[in-house]
Amino acid sequence: MQDGGQGQALFEEMNKQPLRCRVQVILPIERPYDYLLPYGSDGIQVELEPGQVVMVPVGRRILPGVVWDGVADENVPLKKLKEIAEVSEVPTLREELRKFVEWVANYTLSPQGSVLKMALSVPQALENLVGQKLYRLVTDNPKEEGDADTGKPRLTSARQKVIDVITDSGGWTLADLAREAGVSSSVVKGLEKLGLIESYFDAPDFSFSVPKPDAVGPVLSPDQKAASDDLVSRVQDQAFSTVVLDGVTGSGKTEVYFEAIEAAIKEGRQALVLLPEIALSSQWLDRFKKRFGVAPAEWHSDLTPALRRKTWRAVAAGKAPVVVGARSALMLPYRDLGLIIVDEEHEGSFKQEDGVYYHARDMAVVRAKGCSCPIVLASATPALETMVNVQNGRYERLILPGRHGGAGMPDVELIDLRFDKPERLQSGPGWLSQALRGAIRQTLEAGEQAMLFLNRRGYAPLTLCRTCGHRLQCPHCTAWLVEHRRFRRLQCHHCGFSASLPENCPSCEAEDSLVPCGPGVERIVEEAKLLFPEANVALMASDTMTSPAATKAMVDRIQNREVNLLVGTQVVAKGYHFPFLTLVGVVDADLGLFGGDLRAAERTFQLLHQVAGRAGRAEHKGRVLLQTSDPKHPVMQTLKEGDRDKFLEIEAETRARGHLPPFGRLAAVIVSGPDESELDNFCASLARSIPQIDGAQILGPAPAPLALLRGKFRRRFLIMSKRTIAPQGIARSWLAQLKAPSRIKVIVDIDPYSFL
Residues at the contact surface with ligand ADP, assessed by CB under 6 A:
218-221, 224, 247, 249-255, 404, 577
Q: Does 756 bind Zn ion (CB under 5 A)?
A: no
User: Does a cis peptide bond (omega within 30 degrees of 0) precede residue 701?
Assistant: yes
- In the list ligand ADP, Zn ion, none, the entry touching 492 (Cβ below 5 to 8 angstroms by class) is Zn ion
The residue (of 255 and 483) whose beta carbon lies closer to ligand ADP is 255
Task: Please choose which of Zn ion, ligand ADP, none residue 495 contacts, taking the beta carbon within 5 to 8 angstroms, the exact cut-off set by kind.
Answer: Zn ion
- Shortest Cβ 217–ligand ADP spacing (Å): 8
Closest Cα partner for 413 from 605, 624, 657, 254? 624
Q: Judged by CB, which is closer to Zn ion: 208, or 480? A: 480
Taking phi over 0 as left and psi of -120 to 50 as alpha, with beta for the rest, 695 belongs to: left
Binding partner of residue 497 among ligand ADP, Zn ion, none, CB cut-off 5 to 8 Å per kind: Zn ion
- Residue 231 CB, nearest distance to ligand ADP (Å)? 13
- Tell the smallest beta-carbon distance from residue 25 to ligand ADP (Å): 42
Q: Sign of the C-alpha dihedral, residues 125, 128, 130, 136?
A: negative
Q: Which stretch binds Zn ion (CB under 5 A): 115-123, 263-271, 473-481, 694-702?
A: 473-481
Nearer to ligand ADP, 252 or 333 (CB): 252
Q: Kindly list the distances between the CA atom of residue 571 and the CA atoms of 460, 468, 522, 589, 620, in Å, as whole numbers in the listed order.
A: 18, 37, 15, 16, 23
Give the interface size with Zn ion as a residue count (CB under 5 A).
7
Query: Which amino acid is present at 610?
Result: Q
d(CA 589, CA 624): 11
With the CA atoms of 651, 652, 655 and 661 taken in that order, what torsion angle do they form, in degrees rounded to the nearest 10?
A: 120
Least distance (Å) between residue 618 CB and ligand ADP: 9
Interatomic CA distance for residues 323 and 271, integer angstroms:
6
216 or 219: CB nearest ligand ADP: 219
Judged by beta carbon, residue 211 or residue 727, the one nearer ligand ADP is 211
Measured between alpha carbons, how far is 252 from 18 in angstroms, rounded to an integer?
61
Q: Least distance from C-beta 673 to Zn ion, angstroms?
A: 17
Closest by CA to 610, choosing from 258, 250, 285, is 250
Looking at beta carbons only, is 119 or 400 nearer to ligand ADP? 400
List the strands of the sheet with 449-453, edge to edge: 411-416, 623-628, 581-586, 449-453, 565-568, 537-540
- Helices and strands in the chain: count of H runs, count of E runs: 20, 32
Q: How far is the CB of 615 from ligand ADP (least distance, A)?
A: 13
- Strand-pair category, 623-628 with 581-586: parallel
Residue 252 partner contact from ligand ADP, Zn ion, none using kind-dependent CB cut-offs of 5 to 8 Å: ligand ADP
Contact 664, 727 (CB under 8 A): no
> Which of the choices Zn ion, ligand ADP, none does residue 250 contact, using the CB cut-off of 5 to 8 A by kind?
ligand ADP
Please pick, from the candidates 101, 444, 450, 477, the single residue that binds Zn ion as defined by CB under 5 A: 477
Query: Which of the listed partners (Zn ion, ligand ADP, none) does 14 bind, with a CB threshold of 5 to 8 Å by partner kind?
Result: none
For residue 290, the minimal CB distance to Zn ion (Å) is 43
Contact letters for Zn ion, residues 484-523 (x by CB under 5 A):
--------x-xx-x--------------------------
Closer to Zn ion by CB, 320 or 495: give it.
495
Binding partner of residue 474 among ligand ADP, Zn ion, none, CB cut-off 5 to 8 Å per kind: Zn ion
Given Zn ion, ligand ADP, none, residue 249, with its beta carbon under 5 to 8 Å by kind, binds: ligand ADP
Shortest gap between Cβ of 525 and Zn ion (angstroms)? Answer: 25
Cβ proximity to ligand ADP: between 138 and 220 the closer is 220
Q: How many Å apart are CA 184 and CA 174, to the nearest integer?
A: 10
474 touches Zn ion (CB under 5 A)? yes
CA distance 554 to 548: 10
In this structure, the number of other CB atoms found within 10 A of the CB of residue 397 comes to 16
Least gap, CB of 561 to ligand ADP (angstroms): 17
Q: How far is the CB of 363 from ligand ADP (least distance, A)?
A: 23
CA 60 to centroid of chain Cα atoms: 34
Among 189, 476, 489, 557, binds Zn ion (CB under 5 A): 476
| Sheet containing 86-87, strands listed edge to edge, beginning at the edge strand earlier in sequence | 33-36, 20-25, 61-67, 53-58, 86-87
Other C-beta atoms closer than 10 Å to the C-beta of 659 total 16
Contact 555, 592 (CB under 8 A): no
Which is closer to ligand ADP, CB of 218 or CB of 741?
218
* 662: preceding bond cis by omega (within 30 degrees): yes
418 φ/ψ angles, rounded to the nearest 5 degrees: -70, -25
Distance of closest approach, residue 697 Cβ to Zn ion, in angstroms:
32
Shorter beta-carbon distance to ligand ADP: residue 220 or 531: 220
The smaller minimum CB distance to Zn ion, of residues 125 and 474, is found at 474
Cβ–Cβ contacts within 10 Å for residue 620, how many?
18
Helix axes 174-181, 157-167, angle to 10 degrees: 120
Residues that bind Zn ion (CB under 5 A): 474, 476-477, 492, 494-495, 497
